[in-house]
Structure 1
Amino acid sequence: MTEQPKYQTVIRWIKEGIRDGSLRYGDKLMSEKELSQKFGLSRQTIRHATGELEKEHILTRVQGSGTYIGASFQPVRRERYMNIAVLSTFNESYIFPPILRGIVSVLQNAGYTTQVAFTDNRPDIERRNLESVLEKGDIDGFIVEATQSALPNPNLPYYQEILSRHIPILFFNTFYPDLKVPCVRIDDRKIADHATELLIRNGHRKIAGIFKSDDGQGPLRYQGYVDAIMRNNIPFERFSVIWYDTSMQQNIHRLEDYLLYRLSGCTAVVCYNDEVAMEVINILLSHGVKVPEDISVVAIDDSNLASICRVPFTSFPHPKEKLGIRVAENLLKMIENPDFDGNYLYDAEPVIRESVKKIEKSEQ
Structure 2
Amino acid sequence: MKHQVVADYLRIIIDQNKFSSNTKLPSEIFLTKKFSVCRETVRLAIKQLEEEGLVYSVKGSGTFYNKEKALSLDGSKCEKKYRIALIIQGQDRGANSALIKAVKETFQMKDVDIRFFYTDNKISNERKCLTSCKSGFDGIIIDGVKASIANPNLDVYASLYNKNVPLLFYNNYYAATDYPKIIIDDVACADLLVKALVDKGHKYISGIFFYDNYQGVMKYQGYVKALLKYNAVFDDKYVKFLISDNVEKKENFEKVIWNFLKTIPRCSAIVCCNIMIYEVIKRVLSKHNLNNYSIVCFDYSSSDYKEEGVTCSLNPGSVIGNLVAETIIEMIEDPNYKSKDYSRLMEPMIYFGNSIKQL
CA contact (8 A) 1:91 1:118 kept: no
Residue of structure 1 in register with 2:262 after alignment = 261
Per the TM alignment, residue 202 of structure 1 is displaced from its structure 2 partner at its CA by 1.5
Per the TM alignment, residue 217 of structure 1 is displaced from its structure 2 partner at its CA by 0.6
**For residues 345 and 177 of structure 2, what CA distance do their matches in structure 1 show?**
18
1:62-211 maps to which residues of 2 (within 5 A)? 82-90=82-90, 93-134=93-134, 137-211=135-209
Per the TM alignment, residue 193 of structure 1 is displaced from its structure 2 partner at its CA by 2.0
| One-letter identity of the residue aligned with 2:262 | Y
SS at match of 1:202: coil
Residue of structure 2 in register with 1:343 after alignment = 343
1:262–1:104 CA distance, 2 compared to 1 (3 A): farther
Q: TM-score, with normalisation over the residues of structure 1?
A: 0.71
Asked if 1:329 corresponds to 2:330, the answer is no
1:308–1:247 CA distance, 2 compared to 1 (3 A): farther
1:92–1:209 CA distance, 2 compared to 1 (3 A): closer
SS at match of 1:95: helix
1:305–1:324 CA distance, 2 compared to 1 (3 A): closer
Identity among equivalent pairs (%): 27
1:91–1:261 CA distance, 2 compared to 1 (3 A): closer
Residue of structure 2 in register with 1:212 after alignment = 210
Per the TM alignment, residue 256 of structure 1 is displaced from its structure 2 partner at its CA by 4.6
Residue of structure 2 in register with 1:271 after alignment = 272
**For residues 176 and 144 of structure 1, what CA distance do their matches in structure 2 show?**
11
| One-letter identity of the residue aligned with 1:259 | F
1:295–1:92 CA distance, 2 compared to 1 (3 A): closer
**For residues 121 and 329 of structure 1, what CA distance do their matches in structure 2 show?**
25
CA contact (8 A) 1:296 1:355 kept: yes
Query: Which structure would you say has the larger Rg?
Result: 1
SS at match of 1:304: coil
CA deviation string 1:234-273 (max 9, x = no partner): 3311000011112211322232531331442101111001
Mean Cα deviation higher: 85-94 or 322-331: 85-94
How many pairs were matched up? 274
**For residues 184 and 208 of structure 2, what CA distance do their matches in structure 1 show?**
18
1:225–1:92 CA distance, 2 compared to 1 (3 A): closer
Unpaired runs of 5+ residues, structure 1, are 1-79, 360-364
Q: Which has the higher helix share?
A: 2
Residue of structure 2 in register with 1:234 after alignment = 232
Per the TM alignment, residue 91 of structure 1 is displaced from its structure 2 partner at its CA by 6.3
**For residues 277 and 207 of structure 1, what CA distance do their matches in structure 2 show?**
15
**For residues 354 and 159 of structure 1, what CA distance do their matches in structure 2 show?**
44
Residue of structure 1 in register with 2:357 after alignment = 357
Superposition misfits of 4+ residues, deviation over 3 angstroms:
305-309
**For residues 278 and 263 of structure 1, what CA distance do their matches in structure 2 show?**
20
**For residues 91 and 216 of structure 1, what CA distance do their matches in structure 2 show?**
15
**For residues 272 and 306 of structure 1, what CA distance do their matches in structure 2 show?**
18
Residue of structure 2 in register with 1:303 after alignment = 301
1:150–1:198 CA distance, 2 compared to 1 (3 A): same
SS at match of 2:140: strand
1:198–1:306 CA distance, 2 compared to 1 (3 A): farther
Mean Cα deviation higher: 223-232 or 252-261: 252-261
1:93–1:258 CA distance, 2 compared to 1 (3 A): same
**For residues 349 and 83 of structure 2, what CA distance do their matches in structure 1 show?**
36
Unpaired runs of 5+ residues, structure 2, are 1-79
1:181–1:355 CA distance, 2 compared to 1 (3 A): same
SS at match of 2:146: coil
**For residues 262 and 168 of structure 1, what CA distance do their matches in structure 2 show?**
48
CA contact (8 A) 1:173 1:186 kept: yes
Find 2:312's aligned residue among 273, 297, 315.
Answer: 315
| One-letter identity of the residue aligned with 1:318 | N
**For residues 349 and 158 of structure 1, what CA distance do their matches in structure 2 show?**
35
CA deviation string 1:81-123 (max 9, x = no partner): 6100111111662111111111121122111111110111111
1:116–1:191 CA distance, 2 compared to 1 (3 A): same
**For residues 177 and 324 of structure 1, what CA distance do their matches in structure 2 show?**
22
Q: TM-score, with normalisation over the residues of structure 2?
A: 0.72
